[in-house]
């Protein structure tokens, strides 16, 4: 029961972990919004003032990601084995690029998260910008300046933008798919769930790329 | 009308197989797709070549045997229609048509367009039944069944087990097929008793037969000649959760 081996059981783990990770994705983007109000340093300082909170989040996320990645790979390998030969003439009627490439968009997101952590959390990719070493006038780590100076670099902003495109694709299939896996799908609700999922994926994409875009274009300095 | 066909030819399960080009000449728009293949085969036989092997039985759209992949679409481009009920009037003179067998690890090719779909029978054998002791014929209304439930069960029972869903699925999953049977039986009082066991063993057998996992792409629903809906897969998932919580 704890480690399911059945087809549906493992998909339920994918759906459950995916949905919990989406909750974090939403929380994270709300946190990002503090940058527009000059509250980013205060927000970061508040978070780090509560190590039990931040560490329980981190441990929880590591567990969620471990399960999501493990079963994602296992199911994909199994599915590829079940379809060893593809058609000479393939014709998708409803399968999408996003749905067919979940493992690849997932791999991009996974790699991005490692880079993102090294960049903004461990702060070793651009040590010159590390907030831990530059304090603002109130003596707090200057996260705002680190973020702004990072995204003024076109290369870094592009990496974030491309990774968020992968997140968009991943969510555009993942959200509606998770509802179907939980069995939350009737003929009446299905089109609505599909549309709302696509909308949610776009809203999250726009919300996430807004920060690098407004900084790279010089709107936020 | 004249057509160019690219047909998958494979001598046996071990042969690599390849597409072979044929010209189908003087095809009547009133022919069914299978009759068009019959015509091509008559020409091949006259020349002393091996005719194209394909499955077929009732030729009236109710048995599912004729499933093959036409231009990348299992059961052909006409929605809610089997290959035998697809008529050549839906094609244009000069069209090029690709014809391939249903592809999945669980459907090994026997010859040309003929595949072994016995793996679907194995799924049914694992639990797609009710173990009731049948005595005499029961009274007509001895067990009352709400009309909505009866309708839903009948919709699910429409599945003819042709395997188009498996062939269309990017993961080679038989989830729509399995879900149709699970829903049909779990919706009716006679099937309810064994619903929990059934959903577990049938999905287990599906993996055991080499089918993949459902990826919620919904290709299966798009090609199903009997319009079996993916809502039945959601129902299977709910039945599975219920079974595990028991």
For chain B, the structural domain boundaries read: 3-111, 117-131+140-245
Contact check, Cβ <8 Å, B215/A78 = no
Contacts of B212 in chain A (CB under 8 A): 78-83
Is B117-131+140-245 in the same CATH topology as B3-111? no
Domain B117-131+140-245 has what CATH class? mainly alpha
Is residue B134 over pLDDT 90?
A: no
Q: What is the pLDDT of residue B65?
A: 97
Secondary structure of A24-71 in HEC code, one letter for each residue? HHHHHHHHHHHHHHCCHHHHHHHHHCCHHHHHHHHHHHHHHHHHHHHH
Closest CB to B171 among A10, A82, A87 = A82
pLDDT (tens digit per residue) in B147-166 = 999 999 999 999 999 999 99
- CB-CB: which of B19, B104, B241 is closest to A83? B104
Q: Does A27 touch chain B (CB under 8 A)?
A: no
pLDDT per position as a tens digit, B194-226? 999 999 999 999 999 999 999 999 999 999 999
State which residue of chain B sits closest to A177, comparing Cα positions. B216
Q: In this model, does residue A24 exceed pLDDT 60? A: yes
Structure tokens at A165: 């495109």
User: pLDDT band at A86, cuts 50/70/90?
Assistant: very high
3-class SS at A75?
helix
CB contact under 8 A, A7 and B203: yes
CA distance A200 to chain B (A): 18
Mean pLDDT estimate for chain A: 95
Q: In chain A, positions 86-125, which contact chain B (CB-CB < 8 Å)?
A: 86-96, 99-100, 102
Residues 6+ apart with CB under 8 A from B70: B33, B76, B77, B83, B86, B97, B98, B99
Cβ of A82 within 8 Å of Cβ of B104? The answer is: yes
pLDDT for A2 equals: 61
Give the one of B206, B212, B229 whose C-beta lies nearest to A83's C-beta: B212
CA distance A151 to A165: 17
Q: How much is the pLDDT for B136?
A: 83
Which residue of chain A is at minimal alpha-carbon distance from B19?
A: A88
pLDDT digits (tens, 9 = 90+) for A99-138: 999 999 999 999 999 999 999 999 999 988 898 888 999 9
pLDDT at A96 over 90: yes
Burial class (CB in 10 A: 0-12, 13-18, 19+), B137: exposed
Q: Tens digit of pLDDT for each residue in A148-194?
A: 999 999 999 999 999 999 999 999 999 999 999 999 999 899 999 99
| Rounded Cα distance, B75 and B72, in Å | 9
Residue B71 in contact with residue B98, Cβ under 8 Å? yes
How far is B70 from A200, CA to CA, in rounded Å? Answer: 36
Q: Note the pLDDT of residue B137.
A: 82
**Which among A85, A100, A185 has CB closest to B170?**
A100
Beta-carbon pairs below 8 A across chains A and B: 135
> Bigger pLDDT: B135 or B242?
B242
Task: Determine the average pLDDT of the residues in B80-84.
Answer: 97
Distance CA(A184)–CA(A210), nearest Å, equals 32
Provide the pLDDT for residue B112.
97
Q: Would the pLDDT of A49 be above 60? A: yes
**pLDDT digits 0-9 by tens, B160-202:** 999 999 999 999 999 999 999 999 999 999 999 999 999 999 9
Instruction: Tell whether the torsion through CA atoms of A186, A187, A192 and A196 is positive or negative.
Output: positive
Q: Are A98 and A173 in contact (CB under 8 A)?
A: yes
Q: Name which of B188, B189, B179 is nearest B239 in CA terms.
A: B179
- Read off the pLDDT of each residue in B66-84 and give the average, rounded to a whole number: 97
Q: From the list B8, B105, B240, which residue is nearest A8 (CB)?
A: B240
The pLDDT of residue B237 is 97
Answer yes or no: do A89 and B234 touch at CB < 8 A.
no
What does the domain layout of chain A look like in residue ranges? Answer: 7-80+96-216
- The CATH superfamily of B3-111 is Beta-grasp domain (3.10.20.30)
Contact A180 B230 (CB under 8 A): yes
Q: Are A183 and B105 within 8 A, CB to CB?
A: no
Whether pLDDT at A1 is above 60: no
Residues A196-210 have pLDDT tens digits of: 999 999 999 999 999
């Amino acid at each position: 029961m704890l480690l399911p081996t059945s087809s549906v059981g493992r998909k339920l783990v994918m759906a459950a972990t995916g949905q919990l990770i989406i909750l974090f994705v939403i929380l994270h983007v709300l946190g990002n919004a503090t940058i527009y109000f000059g509250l980013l340093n205060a927000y970061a300082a508040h978070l780090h003032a509560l190590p039990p909170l931040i560490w329980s989040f981190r441990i929880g996320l590591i567990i969620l990601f471990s399960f999501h990645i493990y079963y994602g790979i296992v199911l994909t390998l199994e599915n590829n084995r079940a379809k060893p030969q593809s058609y000479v003439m393939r014709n998708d009627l409803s399968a999408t690029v996003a749905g067919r490439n979940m493992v690849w968009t997932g791999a991009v997101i996974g790699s991005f998260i490692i880079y993102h952590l090294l960049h903004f959390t461990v702060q070793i990719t651009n040590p010159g910008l590390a907030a831990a070493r530059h304090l603002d006038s109130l003596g707090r780590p200057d996260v705002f300046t680190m973020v702004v100076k990072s995204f003024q670099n076109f290369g870094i902003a592009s990496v974030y933008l491309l990774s968020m495109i992968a997140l968009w694709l991943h969510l555009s299939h993942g959200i509606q798919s998770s509802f179907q896996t939980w069995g939350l799908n009737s003929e009446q609700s299905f089109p609505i769930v599909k549309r709302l999922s696509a909308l949610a994926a776009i809203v999250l994409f726009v919300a996430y790329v807004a920060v690098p875009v407004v900084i790279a274009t010089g709107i936020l300095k | 009308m004249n057509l160019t066909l690219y047909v998958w030819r494979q001598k046996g399960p071990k042969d690599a197989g390849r597409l072979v080009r044929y010209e189908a000449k003087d095809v009547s728009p009133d022919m069914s797709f299978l009759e068009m293949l019959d015509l091509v085969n008559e020409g091949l036989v006259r020349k002393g070549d091996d005719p194209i092997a394909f499955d077929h039985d009732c030729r009236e759209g109710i048995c599912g045997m004729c499933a093959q992949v036409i231009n990348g679409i299992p059961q052909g481009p006409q929605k809610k229609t089997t290959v035998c009920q697809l008529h050549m009037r839906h094609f244009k003179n000069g069209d090029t048509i690709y014809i391939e067998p249903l592809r999945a690890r669980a459907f090994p090719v026997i010859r040309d367009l003929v595949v072994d779909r016995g793996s679907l029978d194995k799924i049914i054998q694992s639990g797609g039944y009710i173990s009731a002791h049948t005595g005499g014929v029961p009274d007509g209304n001895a067990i009352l069944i709400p009309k909505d439930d009866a309708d839903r069960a009948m919709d699910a029972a429409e599945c003819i087990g042709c395997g188009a869903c498996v062939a269309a699925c990017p993961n080679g999953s038989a989830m729509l097929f399995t879900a149709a049977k699970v829903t049909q039986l779990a919706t009716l009082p006679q099937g309810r008793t064994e619903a929990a066991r059934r959903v577990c063993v049938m999905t287990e057998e599906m993996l055991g037969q080499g089918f993949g996992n459902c990826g919620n792409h919904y290709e299966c629903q798009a090609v199903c000649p009997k319009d079996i809906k993916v809502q039945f897969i959601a129902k299977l998932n709910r039945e599975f959760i219920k079974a595990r919580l028991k």
